[in-house]
Structure 1
């Protein structure tokens, strides 16, 4: 169950002596992937590599090239690749003879995972909580949360936000904001009212800052109270405390408290999607803790499984009005994921990794913010903890009313490619695909953080033609 050690060379260049012996060449594997997999594949287009081994933050390809992984399975790998705590949990569970698949039957592993998860939740929420194990993807948990609230309220509609991403199944896709991924899919599972999400750099009201967030809250409240506003009382509001795919845009704490007040006063259940923000990613164990709000339901996946597939919803017991089988699925009883998830949750808590994410994330963001004057293609640096976005812009373009330059998605793509050449994996996101997103594991070392910043800065400088001018 052990993984051969991987060391990080300063250059990120391959070490032929340490390269694995592949069963097939990388080119051949990639060619067969293109021929056999669907055109919907995404990450494989951005990163034409064939990972062979991985440990911590480092991925090694079949060609022996090593990369620092700032994607971390889209935030799934809180402890990085093949962490000893995770491997030990897998080995222990397999050797115990525990059943690996039991539908929704109770097992010691499920009971232990639930204990570990509830111990991390805000007390006011945990004291009244029920849990439902969903299919292994976050999108299924979003579906479950929406169905739960539709059942509890007898209503159908959903309040969702611009820039949101909640998944790719019918109900989750309806609540997702991206026009590009929705425009070719007919229909939807719910009637969605789209509300403005605070985005200071490109404020939907054209004012930015705190005032933009205030207007977003005022608009929401007045729309819901307007008898001619067209909004039938909804089953729920769903939001992200930090929009991930939306470009690492954090919601202001005051705005989140306003959303909780507005929904509470109108008896609208509030669902917070913590699929990517949970388990220490934002500098608190759960992103809702920054604002102090207590939602009616939280959607969880990704890191809660300790790198294996697992998704749940945790919700206030008052909404538990489902009939047996109201939301089911064959792979709800993933014993291995529950074991690795419990081990990961306890390790993150015991080692203070959420606090570590806050410190390292703030340091990295400050360094990136300091590069803006030197590299004017960096339009905005934002995020929370180790969930960081760097928006790439055209510095020669005309400023908008918020002082933002036009987006530069093609330049962002070149930055991503230049990072890969330097042994750094980063992905893009945001409304225009112009934001470089950093999601390193919570176990990132100071040395690795420094290497990420240097490689990213060098890549941006090369793309912007400023490489020779950097001091």
Structure 2
């Protein structure tokens, strides 16, 4: 059957029931809801990359649960692992007691990690969201070093709880809140909008030099920190990949100064970037990795994996009631092994480069596309005002209003994409690693049509409840 977003046979009254559900959501749920504003649909069924709404339309999902669904929706391997666990009578909740399911998940996880890191690693099961794993990683390093501050980067996103939010770069979500602790903000290498106005490799070199000089300056204002935390590819920050050389520089700088390095792999992990873990592109070995999203096979799960040297916690130092759901561990183990055994990491690299190449061709045709970037199946398309004057690096001002129109036009064409970046002007593509060649072609065709329609001022063919004027908060950690 064609991948077009055509109406499908739906139960009688389903569209009306969907509208009623949406109305109740608007009345009952908080003003902080996000994705529901962008995508006013009520999913009733999903398989792989396809989501069917109560309105009887099918959509290709390039959001994938904000990167959670490595295998797409309801993959047979995941469903079989869940059913097997349920049928076995295994307890679904046992705090942090040892179970066969936890042991199997831990084995699968350690098998997937870079060998040098896994050989001396410990794992801590946290509350089931990435933000709690970030909090745990910070507390771990504070305990180990006796220090309290942290180094974090412009454009960072690490979660919405107090400590993780302090590390996050987005000012809009932090303004109403008291400070979450002393954080030194460092420049992240963002080639298209280089903080030093030079771009490229030179900009990344300057960013590394700045960090090193600042940390060594006795009047630089930075107290010795408990840790540095970074993302190898910034997701919410606009799909900005860090150059491998810069990552190696950060590892050298922190190691030389006795600063633990935490890498947040919540969104980049499990094959997303064309490597099982994004650190593998650069070859660095961090002191800790924060993992969530895809490691639970679509169910909530979060862990910190760290060098055993730092395991100085006392019992109960970071605890919580939901530390490793049995179903999530079973689904996660199945996902990790399926990704590794079926070459999905390598496919993500190949398909991601193919999509990026087509998007770069599209940028040559459509001047509203300022930049195409990413790694593997983590791609970003930054939309700009082509009539505006470029800056010193050749970048034109972001166009968030256009981005909203493109998102609406995509939805009208049966394509779910979300926005991100400094000005919410980056179209983020996070398709499942299982995306087929036919689906790749459909995604690119629909995206090209949506950008063309939205940028020429013609009708987008749909509408959403989002607003170009309000900051978008995503991540769902």
Q: Structure 2-normalised TM-score?
A: 0.95
Residues 99 and 24 of structure 1, relative CA distance in 2, 3 Å threshold: farther
User: Equivalents in 2 of 1:411, 1:466: separation in Å?
Assistant: 9
User: Equivalents in 2 of 1:23, 1:418: separation in Å?
Assistant: 20
The aligned counterpart of 2:235 is 244
Report if the CA contact (8 A) 1:19-1:63 is conserved.
Answer: no
User: Equivalents in 2 of 1:10, 1:91: separation in Å?
Assistant: 29
Residues 228 and 310 of structure 1, relative CA distance in 2, 3 Å threshold: same
After TM superposition, the structure 1 = structure 2 runs for residues 52-201 of structure 1, keeping only pairs within 5 Å, are 52-188=44-180, 190-201=181-192
Residues 280 and 21 of structure 1, relative CA distance in 2, 3 Å threshold: farther
Residues 21 and 131 of structure 1, relative CA distance in 2, 3 Å threshold: farther
The aligned counterpart of 2:402 is 411
User: Equivalents in 1 of 2:262, 2:437: separation in Å?
Assistant: 35
The aligned counterpart of 2:474 is none
Report if the CA contact (8 A) 1:375-1:466 is conserved.
Answer: no
Report if the CA contact (8 A) 1:305-1:338 is conserved.
Answer: yes
User: Equivalents in 2 of 1:53, 1:414: separation in Å?
Assistant: 26
Q: 3-state SS of the aligned residue for 2:365?
A: coil
The aligned counterpart of 1:35 is 27
Q: Structure 1-normalised TM-score?
A: 0.96
Report if the CA contact (8 A) 2:62-2:415 is conserved.
Answer: yes
- How far 1:27 sits from its partner (Å)? 1.1
Q: Deviations over 1:89-124 (max 9, x none)?
A: 010000000000000000000000000000000010
Q: 3-state SS of the aligned residue for 1:202?
A: coil
- How far 1:12 sits from its partner (Å)? 1.1
The aligned counterpart of 2:349 is 358
User: Equivalents in 1 of 2:263, 2:342: separation in Å?
Assistant: 26
Q: 3-state SS of the aligned residue for 1:200?
A: coil
Mapped pair 1:445 → 2:436: yes
The aligned counterpart of 2:18 is 26
Mapped pair 1:292 → 2:283: yes
After TM superposition, the structure 1 = structure 2 runs for residues 193-232 of structure 1, keeping only pairs within 5 Å, are 193-232=184-223
The aligned counterpart of 2:4 is 11
Q: Deviations over 1:413-438 (max 9, x none)?
A: 00000000000000000011000000
User: Equivalents in 1 of 2:274, 2:127: separation in Å?
Assistant: 27
The aligned counterpart of 1:5 is none
Q: 3-state SS of the aligned residue for 2:214?
A: helix
Among 299, 312, 323, the alignment partner of 2:303 is 312
Mapped pair 1:435 → 2:426: yes
- How far 1:439 sits from its partner (Å)? 0.2
Q: 3-state SS of the aligned residue for 1:299?
A: strand
Give me the CA root mean square deviation: 1.3
- How far 1:10 sits from its partner (Å)? 3.3
Q: 3-state SS of the aligned residue for 2:364?
A: coil
Gap regions ≥5 residues in structure 2: 460-477
The aligned counterpart of 1:377 is 368
- How far 1:64 sits from its partner (Å)? 1.0
Q: Deviations over 1:173-228 (max 9, x none)?
A: 0000000111111221x210000000000000000000000000000000000000
The aligned counterpart of 2:320 is 329
Q: Deviations over 1:250-277 (max 9, x none)?
A: 0000000000000000000000000000
Q: 3-state SS of the aligned residue for 1:373?
A: helix
Q: 3-state SS of the aligned residue for 2:373?
A: strand
Gap regions ≥5 residues in structure 1: 1-7
User: Equivalents in 1 of 2:297, 2:164: separation in Å?
Assistant: 23
- How far 1:11 sits from its partner (Å)? 2.2
Among 270, 273, 277, the alignment partner of 2:264 is 273
Q: 3-state SS of the aligned residue for 1:135?
A: coil
Mapped pair 1:46 → 2:38: yes
User: Equivalents in 1 of 2:164, 2:127: separation in Å?
Assistant: 14
- How far 1:9 sits from its partner (Å)? 3.0
User: Equivalents in 2 of 1:386, 1:11: separation in Å?
Assistant: 22
User: Equivalents in 2 of 1:67, 1:286: separation in Å?
Assistant: 29
Residues 88 and 436 of structure 1, relative CA distance in 2, 3 Å threshold: same
